[in-house]
């Protein structure tokens, strides 16, 4: 998990910075003028960039879910301890257990689909509020 986080963090940080910088600067100034402190101002800017930040979360999640190399290098593939879905799929494929590997792959795809649909629903739900 640590390896995946270290792998996804630079990409997520860069995309998040770009999302926040894309927010109209008047929003930050208006929040500060109305007496918002640093945390409230940051929350206001993040709320304005929520759709781009949701896309960042989706990209970071997709990158970590699909990563096999970092998980194997950092954590290995120890059953019950460091094995992830992606490393299990790789292991069972290399052992010729294609049915089990395919079943785990389907679980991984369903999990990714559920997370993406959930983020899309959250985006749609927040779209009507100003």
pLDDT band at 130 (very low <50, low <70, confident <90, very high): very low
DSSP string across 22-49 = TS-HHHHHHHHHTT--HHHHHHHHHHHT
pLDDT band at 23 (very low <50, low <70, confident <90, very high): very high
- The rounded mean pLDDT for the chain is 83
Mapping DSSP to helix (H, G, I), strand (E, B) and coil, where does residue 52 land?
Answer: helix
pTM over 0.75: no
Q: What is the pLDDT of residue 39?
A: 94
The pLDDT of 59-88, averaged and rounded, is: 73
Q: What is the pLDDT of residue 71?
A: 67
Range of the domain at 25: 2-126
Number of domains in the chain: 1
| Token pair in block for residue 96 | 């010729």
Q: What is the pLDDT of residue 75?
A: 65
The pLDDT of 26-31, averaged and rounded, is: 91
- Compute the half-sphere exposure of residue 32: CA atoms within 13 Å on the CB side of its CA: 8
Summarised one tens digit per residue, pLDDT across range 84-100 is 778 788 888 888 989 99
């Amino acid at each position: 998990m640590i390896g995946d986080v270290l792998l996804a963090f630079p990409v997520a940080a860069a995309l998040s910075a770009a999302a926040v910088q894309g927010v109209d600067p008047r929003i930050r100034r208006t929040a500060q003028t109305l007496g918002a402190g640093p945390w409230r101002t940051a929350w206001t800017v993040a709320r304005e960039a929520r759709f781009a930040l949701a896309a960042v979360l989706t990209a970071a999640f997709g990158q970590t879910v699909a990563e096999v190399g970092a998980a194997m290098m950092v954590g290995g593939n120890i059953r019950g301890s460091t094995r992830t879905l992606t490393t299990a799929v790789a292991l069972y494929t290399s052992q010729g257990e294609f049915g089990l590997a395919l079943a785990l792959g389907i679980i991984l795809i369903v999990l990714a689909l559920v997370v993406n649909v959930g983020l899309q629903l959250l985006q749609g739900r927040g779209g009507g509020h100003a």
